[in-house]
Amino acid sequence: MEASLLLIQLLNGLQLGILLFLLSAGLTLTFGIMDFVNLAHGSLYMLGAFICASLTQLTGSFALAALLAVPLTALCGLLIEMVVIRQLYSRNHLDHVLATFGLILCLDTIAEIVWSPAGIAIALPDILNGQLEVLPGVVVPVFRLLIIAVGLLAAAGLYVLVNHTKLGMLIRAGASNRTMVGALGVDIKTLFSGVFAMGAALAGLAGLLVAPIAEASIGMGNEIIITAFVVIIIGGIGSMKGAFIAALLIGLIDTLGRSYLDDVFKLIMSNEAAETAAPAISAMLIYLMMAVILAIRPQGLFPASSR
Amino acid sequence: MPETKLVPNNKPRPISFWINAILLLLLAVAPPILFITGQPFWLDVFTRLVILALAATALNLVLGYGGLVSFGHAAYLGLGAYAVGIPTYHALYGGMDAIASFNGFLHLGLAVSVSALFALLTGAISLRTRGVNFIMITMAFGQMIFYAIVALENYGGDDGLTIDVRSEFPLISLDNPLTLYGLCYLSLLVALFIVYKITRSRFGLTLQGARSNEERMRSLGVNCYRYQLVAFVISGAICGYAGFLLGNFSTFISPEMMDWTRSGELMFMVILGGAAFLCGPIFGAAAFILLEEVLRDVTIHWHLPFGLLLILSVLFFRGGLSGALDRLRSKGDKP
């Protein structure tokens, strides 16, 4: 059973890592290009989940709801960018942090008013609700595999977009020298809005993928956003490659730590001590890892070369 | 060298000085009067206000004067509060004989030393980075303590811990709300005095120099890192002390009090009041707490107007309340 259980945990870790990547990709885009720190990114994740939950109830189809929820979340992001965020690009990081903190309070309360404080579960269609035997003895929920597949697809799409399209060229150029891109006649305002909306779409995608497993709830983004921050700190802020690798690393370490740390501890201490210490340490594991990595490399694993 | 020559910008500040004095006087007189005239609720509000003002004053030392945007200061409040809760829990229910006690001095010592130690360890790592990295790393370390406490099922985990017996001191009893308020108020005055002395000292001037132009300070041969780390530890220790008071005040503590959004609120108090102004954090905490109380009365969705006000204050109200005062003063000074 050990090997199959380990495989299942690995898949769970991979799934968490993929979700973290979808979130940190948006953070990386907005930070890398606009030099903007967005604490309210987690609220977009929450909006994605709620919009999808409502649409599923309305249309009766999760697939249709998911397809609609992504552009709708992007639209919310666009609106927020135009009303609030845009005024802040010229300010310092402290102002970004404070204003988007206020934004979180607003968005969470709006969600509480529009939906309910209780949270909404999403019912999956039968095809997605089943289990799949990927290897003899290894049974995995289909939906978890779907999350991994969709996430990897989004990552690949993002890679192609950034590295092989004209828009991607502008994005990369914007990341290395914004002023110069503006001087060359590119409409920076539209580019920034577009990039922000793209980050919002990715956050919304992550939110709607999580919602069927964990239900849409108020403040769901405020917890995972910190983990996403840990991801981009470890990966090197502004680096997409770093975000991807660090997201998978964090996802795996967090999941495996929670399931196996007590076994490891039992090798070196008494059973009782291990059972008290393991949950606390495993909850702190990714932060401890961050501390170690930063002590060695203060700029993260893959520092963005432009900064 | 006479002390005054070290002090930059030592012009008299008539208006803001008097407003600060009136504020402190008001905080000394109003709550006891409110309490005696039968409004204990408002004494509670003021006690919370003064404790948070104390924590914000501690944060102001690094954020305002040091220019180090720490987003994890709620962790120290939590550590301080659990330094009261955990020994009390063991004194009541057994176990951990080394710290099981109701003794207030033990609680206080634990709160300050554990906070200082945590500040030293995390500061040593965080201060190697700058800017947005520093913001996020302090935030992550704060959240680490949050999750660690959540995972400690013995002490209630997520559900929190009730402090059944307040810290015991000779002569005074913290069970008396007026005594507790008096202690908090005096602590605030002492903290203000400490921060005032620090900012006027060579140490404090170096710290502010590092905020303004770190490269230049370094080329002058100053090891900024060491100064910033010491300031970070002092700030953490004072904030831990505020946590000790908060634990004794609320008598119910939970990980929620060290959530990262709490750190954000502390930052807002500092910025709202005006960073790097001595009494700024008190203004900020007062504005924050009173606004919260007023809005809470109006609607259960008070976070919405509150958040909007916070956004608007960032967009249009730079320098905070103290900054506005200062602009008022400089306008008045103009011939």
pLDDT digits (tens, 9 = 90+) for A97-155: 999 999 999 999 999 999 888 888 888 877 777 777 777 777 788 888 889 999 999 98
CB-CB under 8 Å, B148 with A105 = no
Contact list, B147 vs chain A (CB under 8 Å): 283-284, 287
Q: Which domain holds residue A69?
A: 2-219
Q: What's the average model confidence in pLDDT over A179-186?
A: 84
CB-CB under 8 Å, A233 with B140 = yes
Interface test with A, best of B132, B143, B298 (most A CBs within 10 A): B132
- The Cα-based distances of A190 to A140, A163, A273 in angstroms read 43, 20, 57
CB-CB under 8 Å, A105 with B310 = yes
pLDDT band, residue B333 (cuts 50/70/90): very low
Please state the length of chain B.
335
Check pLDDT > 80 for residue B324.
no
Per-residue pLDDT tens over the stretch B74-98: 999 999 999 999 999 999 888 777 7
∠ Cα A201 B135 B140 (to 5°): 80
CB-CB under 8 Å, A99 with B314 = yes
User: Which of B147, B154, B311 shows the shortest C-beta gap to A103?
Assistant: B311
Which pLDDT value is given to residue B248?
A: 93
Sequence-ordered list of residues with C-beta below 8 angstroms from that of B210, at least 6 positions apart, any chain: B66, B67, B217, B222, B224, B227, B228
CB-CB under 8 Å, A109 with B304 = yes
ipTM of model: 0.83
Instruction: Kindly state whether residue A224 falls inside one of the protein's structural domains.
Output: no
Q: Inform me whether the C-beta atom of residue B28 falls under 8 Å from chain A C-beta atoms.
A: no
Instruction: Kindly state whether residue A240 falls inside one of the protein's structural domains.
Output: no
CB-CB under 8 Å, A113 with B147 = no
Q: What's the average model confidence in pLDDT over B28-39?
A: 86
Q: Inform me whether the C-beta atom of residue B153 falls under 8 Å from chain A C-beta atoms.
A: yes
Say which range, A64-73, A194-203, B206-215, has the weakest mean pLDDT: B206-215
CB-CB under 8 Å, A280 with B148 = yes
Check pLDDT > 80 for residue B322.
no
- Smallest CA–CA distance, residue B102 to chain A, in Å, is 25
CB-CB under 8 Å, A229 with B136 = yes
Which domains does chain B possess? 12-330 (1.10.3470)
pLDDT band, residue A307 (cuts 50/70/90): very low
Count of domains for chain A: 1
Check pLDDT > 50 for residue B4.
no
Radius of gyration of chain A from its Cα atoms, rounded to whole angstroms: 20
- Smallest CA–CA distance, residue A108 to chain B, in Å, is 8
> What crossing angle do the helices spanning A220-235 and A240-268 adopt, rounded to 10°?
100
- The Cα-based distances of B187 to A8, B52, B57, B173, B193 in angstroms read 54, 12, 11, 16, 10
Please state the length of chain A.
307
pLDDT band, residue B330 (cuts 50/70/90): low
Which pLDDT value is given to residue B10?
A: 57
CB-CB under 8 Å, A112 with B307 = no
Instruction: Kindly state whether residue A115 falls inside one of the protein's structural domains.
Output: yes
User: Which of B71, B136, B268 shows the shortest C-beta gap to A233?
Assistant: B136
Instruction: Kindly state whether residue A303 falls inside one of the protein's structural domains.
Output: no
Q: Inform me whether the C-beta atom of residue B308 falls under 8 Å from chain A C-beta atoms.
A: yes
User: Which of B128, B151, B314 shows the shortest C-beta gap to A98?
Assistant: B314
Which pLDDT value is given to residue B335?
A: 38
Spatial contact of B81 and B243, defined as CB atoms under 8 Å apart: yes
Instruction: Kindly state whether residue A277 falls inside one of the protein's structural domains.
Output: no
Which pLDDT value is given to residue A305?
A: 60
Question: pTM to 2 decimals?
Answer: 0.86
CB-CB under 8 Å, A282 with B141 = no
Instruction: Kindly state whether residue A19 falls inside one of the protein's structural domains.
Output: yes
Q: Mean pLDDT across chain B, nearest whole number?
A: 86
> What crossing angle do the helices spanning A41-59 and A93-114 adopt, rounded to 10°?
20
Listed by number, the residues of chain B in 114-143 with a beta carbon closer than 8 Å to a beta carbon of chain A are 122, 125-126, 128-129, 131-133, 135-137, 139-141, 143
Q: Distance between CA atoms of A109 and A200, rounded to whole angstroms?
A: 19
Q: Identify the bridge partners of residue B103 per DSSP, sorted by sequence position.
A: B168
Instruction: Kindly state whether residue A274 falls inside one of the protein's structural domains.
Output: no
Q: Inform me whether the C-beta atom of residue A124 falls under 8 Å from chain B C-beta atoms.
A: no
Residue A35: which of A276, A212, A186, A196 has the closest Cα? A196
Contact list, B301 vs chain A (CB under 8 Å): 109, 112-113
